Chains A and B, each alone.
Chain A
Amino acid sequence: MKIFKNAKKNGIADDAFVHQKLSPFWVMVRKEIADHFHSWRSLILFGIILLTTVGALYASLIDAREVFSAKSDGSFFFLKLFTQSDGTLPSFFVFISFLGPLLGISLGFDAVNSEQNRGTLSRILAQPVPRDYLLNAKFVAGVLVVALMFFSLSFLVIGAGLFVLGHPPTAEEFMRIIVYTLFSVVYVAFWLNLSVFFSVKFRQPATSALSGIAVWLFFTIFYPMIVNLITKGFEPSKFAPPQMVYFYQKIKFALVQVMPNELFSEVTSALLVPTVRSVGPLTTEQVSGAIPGDLPLGQSLMVVWPQITGLLALTLLCFLFAYLVFMRREIRSRG
C-alpha cells in the first residue's frame, strides 16, 4: 500500500489496479500475503530456509565437477544437485523435508486465534463476506507464499546447475523438478492445514504452535520407534518361510504409511531418483522380467501414486476438521 501512496505523490497516473473491484476473497488473500511478508517471523524463517538450501546447493556443487567427470553417467545431473551431498551438509531435499513442516507450522499457528485475541475477528465477520472466506484466505495465502518460496529455490538450483554445467536440463529433468517442487508445496500445505486447524481449536497461539511441533516430533521420532517396538514382537526368525517374511515386511511398511513425512520422502525419492522402482517390499516374482534403467516421469508417479493420494487426503482431512470447527463456532467479541 505504501507503493501506491508514493505513486500518487509523485504524480504517476492511477492505474487500473486501484480502480479494480476485487472480490472480497482476493482482498483478504492479498492482505494475508502482505502480512506474511511484513512479519519478522516469516522473514526469519524464509532466511533460514534460504541459507540452508543455498548451503546445501553449494555443498553439492563443490564436488559436482568431480562427480560429473568421474562417472561417465552424467545423466540427471540436475536431479543429483537436489539429492547429493558431500557429507558436510545434508542435501537440499533433506533440508526441505526437515524445515518444510516448520515453515508450515509457523505460517499457520496463529491464523485464527490471534484474530480472536486481537478483537478483529468479530469485526471482519460482521462484513458481508461468507465466514469460510477467512479460513480459505488464510490457507490460500500461506500456500501461495510457500509456493513462491519453493519455486524460487528450485529455479535457483537449476540456475546454479546451468551455470556450472553449461547446458540446460533435459525436459524430463525439468518436469521432475517442477513436480517435486509442487509436491513439497503440498507437503508444507499439510502442515499449514494442521496448524490452522490447531489455531481454530486452541485459543492461545502458543498452544497451537506447540501442538503442531508436538505432532511433528511425534511423526519424526516417536512413531518410527513405536512401529519398531510393535513389529519386533512379530519378527520372524531366520528359518521362517518367505511368505512370513514378506508379510512381516508388508506390515511394517503399511504401518509407516500414515506418517506424512514418510509419504513425502517416498514421493521425493521416486521423483528425484528415476531408477527407483518401488517404495515397498517386492517379491522376486514381482521384479522378474524388469528391465533395469530409468523410469519416465509418468511411471515414477505411478509408483508412488498411493503415497501422493495419501498425502493429499491427509491435507484435506485437516482442512475439513478446521472447517467444521470454525463454521459452527459462536464468535464473540474479545471483551
Chain B
Amino acid sequence: MEHIIEIEGLTRKYDDFFAVDHLDLKIGKGEVFGLLGPNGAGKSTTILMMLGLTEPTSGNVRVCGLDPVHQPIEVKRKVGYLPEDVGFYDDLSGLENLTYTGQLNGLSRMEAEEKALGLLARVGLKEEKDKKAGKYSRGMRQRLGVADVLMKNPEVIILDEPTLGIDPTGVKAFLQLITDLSRKEGITVLFSSHHLYQVQQVCDRVGIFVSGRLLACGGIDSLSEQLFADESFMIEGVLDAGVRTSSLKEDLKKTKRQLQDIPGVAEVRIEEHRFMISSSKNVAPEVAAIIVGGGLHLNSLSNREYGLDEIYTRYFQE
C-alpha cells in the first residue's frame, strides 16, 4: 500500500524530556488511523511535527512525499489540520470565516464563498451559516472546523482531540461524518484522541501512544495480541458447588496442575469454585475436557478477550 505518511525515528526533546521517543509509523493512503493515548503522551507534538509547526530533534517525517521542515507551505496545502478546541473569529459569521480560509488558500472571494456554501451544507450547518461564529455551540464549531479543513481539498486530514466536549450522540454523528467523507473522497484521516471507545469504532488501524512511544499499532484485534502477548485470552469458569467428592482438594490440585500443563497457559487461579485461566490462545476446549475428565462438574465457562478496557486500565492510568 502506498504510504502517505512515513515517520522514521522521530524524536522531540524538551531539555531532557522526551516528548516523542524514536517513533516509527507508516500510514497508508485512504486509511483512517487513530492515534490513541493518554494526556501528555506526545500525540499533539507528533502532529505538530508532521505539519512543520515544530522542528523535530532527530528523525524524519515525510507527508505526501514532502518534508514538513523544509517545505511547510506545500505540506500545509495538502494537509488539513483541525486543532484541539478550534477557534473562529467570533464577530464574523460561519460563512465569512470559511470564505477567509478559502481566500488564504488562493481562491477568489467568489470561489471561496461558493465552496463554503457547499461544505456548510455537507456538514449540516446550512441554516446557521450567517450566524456569528461566537454564537455556535461546541458541536457546531467542530463541524465548522471540518468544513474549514475541507476548504483546501486536502489529501490528509489531521484531527486533534476532535470529540472533546461533545455529547455522545454528537460524537457518533461527527465520527460518521468524518468516515463518510474519507471513504467518498479517499482522504486519509488521522485522529488523535484519548476516547478509545469512540474512536476505535471508526478506525481502520489504531496506534497506542504512551509517554512518547508507540506501544502497539494495528487493528483492534491485533492490539491485544501485541500488548498482552502472553495473556491475551482469559477463560473464566465456575465449578458446580453441589459436587462433594471425598478428595476435592486433591482433585482440584491435580486439575490445576493439568491445566497449567496445557501449552499456552500463562496463569491458573482457582478460588473457591471460580477459576481463571489466562493464556496466549484460546484453550477453552482443552480446559473443559480436563475439568470434566477430572470428575469435576462444570457450571459455566466463558471466554473473555482483553479489550480496550484492559488497555485503558493498564496503560492510561498513571
Contacts and interface: CB of A to CB of B under 8 A. Distances in A.
Interface of A: 1, 4, 14, 17-22, 24, 27-28, 31, 35, 38, 118-120, 122-130, 330-335
5 contacts: A19-B108, A123-B145, A128-B74, A129-B73, A333-B160
A123 B148 contact: yes
Given A14-B110, A123-B148, A128-B73, A22 B87 contact: no
A17 B86 CA distance: 30
Contact of A24 (B48, B99, B104): B104
Contacts of B84: 333-335
A127 B85 contact: no
Contacts of A335: 83-85, 161, 164
B179 interface: no
A126 B80 contact: yes
A59 B80 CA distance: 59
Contact of B87 (A19, A20, A119, A127): A119
B195 to A, nearest CB: 14
Nearest to B51: A126
Interface in B83-104: 83-91, 96, 99-101, 103-104
Nearest to A130: B73
A103 B74 CA distance: 38
Contacts of A22: 103, 108
A118 B87 contact: yes
Contact of B85 (A1, A4, A119, A125): A119
A123 B83 contact: yes
Instruction: Please indicate which of the listed interface residues A35, A127, A330, A331 has the most CB atoms of chain B within 10 Å of its own CB.
Output: A127
A28 B101 CA distance: 10
Contacts of A4: 109
Contacts of B58: none
Given A27-B104, A331-B53, A335-B164, A126 B76 contact: yes
A27 B88 contact: no
Given A24-B104, A24-B106, A122 B73 contact: no
A21 B96 CA distance: 16
A125 B53 contact: yes
Contacts of B109: 4, 17-20
A120 B108 contact: no
A333 B105 contact: no
Given A122-B83, A124-B104, A126-B53, 5 more contacts: A24-B104, A27-B100, A27-B103, A128-B74, A333-B44
B226 interface: no
B86 A21 contact: no
A333 B76 contact: no
Nearest to B109: A18
B108 A18 contact: yes
A330 B48 contact: yes
B76 A119 contact: no
A332 B105 contact: no
B236 to A, nearest CB: 41
A127 B76 CA distance: 6
Contacts of A21: 106-108
A119 B80 CA distance: 16
Contact of B44 (A124, A126, A332): A332
A332 B48 contact: yes
A321 B53 CA distance: 20
A205 to B, nearest CB: 15
Contact of B54 (A1, A31, A330): A330
B103 A333 contact: no
B108 A20 contact: yes
Contact of A119 (B83, B91, B152): B83
Contacts of A122: 53, 81, 83, 86
Contacts of B53: 122, 125-126, 330-331
Contacts of A331: 53
B135 interface: no
B77 interface: yes
A124 B91 CA distance: 16
Given A127-B101, A127-B105, A333 B96 contact: no
B80 A120 contact: no
Contacts of B44: 332-333
Contacts of A31: 100
Contacts of A20: 108-109
